[in-house]
A and B are shown apart, each in its own frame.
Chain A
Amino acid sequence: MRPSDQLAAFTRDALSGGQSRGDIRAALARSGWAPNEIDEALDAWADIDFPTPVPRPRPYVSAREAFFYGLMFAALAMTAWHLVALLHNLIDHWVADPLNDDAGRYAINSTRWSIAALVVFAPTFLVMNHRAVQATNSDPGKRRSGVRKWFGYVTLFLASISLLGDLMAMIYALLSGDLTVRFMLKALVVAGVAGTVFAYFRQDTEEAQDGT
């Protein structure tokens, strides 16, 4: 049985057993449930005079959270991807290879795309992340949001795929005769960005240790 099911079952049993809402709230709070989870469990039952607890209609998944975390993690994925792309282009520009002079306009255009992506998505991610941190600090129960966790892992998956692809392209370039200095610098960039993303998510998963 999932923790939220147990909470719902307990609340129903307690209400039908005739316990007051104040007593149930106190018992749940002593057991470690967050205030918003207790509110949610109690709000599931209408506060009316009737022999058995009467359920209220409730939305199952929060659409607002789906929007918020979907946008936030998409912004994180875009930021990580284009930060790596932009830094790789910078390395290609600064560590010039005399044998490979065909970068020209194509590299400049891809650099411009990356700049545009970062200008839009990096502030989006930072602002939303700031608001998410504030919200979870004031209400620890929000860390248990299933929506947040699912979007988090989907983003982690996409970021991993993209960074592994970068790694693959770098190794291919090294094997096809690219400069070793370039390879080392690019590998450092991928490792740095990947490390930051994974550190961010480990912090997140440590905070949300309960089941699915």
Chain B
Amino acid sequence: MGRDTIIPALIAALVLVAIAAGLTITGGPISARAERRDLARLDDLRTLKTLITCQHQVNGALPDTLFVDTNCAYSPLGTDPLTNAPYGYEKLSDTSYRLCASFERPDLIRDHDLGPGTWQPDSGCFILTQP
């Protein structure tokens, strides 16, 4: 009789502890929603990167600011899904630039999320180089 109740109680306790610990790592539904918004931000930054690469090829230089270039015929510049603020762009040199967004879970972003580049968790920017 003892084993009939002790083993299920142990299993229940272990499962509860594991689920609680798992939730602290993954975050609940709200931070998962933030993660989704980060994925949308990454998508927007990828689109901007394609636009900048095209402008570099057409004009032979990186643009000074972001604008919708009819030569490259891309959709309008995206904005942040939460705040609607425009994304940050800064020309660093003739071949390198920064793309920035206010990521909500910067711990999950990796260097290669925008292709070859360097991720700076403190500023929320990727440093990208035009070959």
Contacts and interface: CB of A to CB of B under 8 A. Distances in A.
A93 interface: yes
A130 B8 contact: yes
Contact of B19 (A108, A118, A126, A203): A118
A133 B6 CA distance: 13
Interface in A132-186: 133, 137
Chain A residues touching B, majority SS: helix
Chain B residues touching A, majority SS: helix
Interface residues of A, number: 29
B18 A118 contact: yes
B15 interface: yes
Contacts of A122: 11-12, 15
Given A79-B15, A129-B8, 19 more contacts: A83-B18, A86-B22, A89-B25, A90-B21, A101-B110, A105-B35, A105-B108, A108-B25, A111-B22, A112-B32, A114-B22, A115-B19, A115-B22, A115-B23, A115-B26, A119-B19, A122-B12, A122-B15, A126-B11
8 contacts: A86-B19, A90-B25, A102-B110, A105-B35, A105-B108, A108-B108, A112-B22, A115-B26
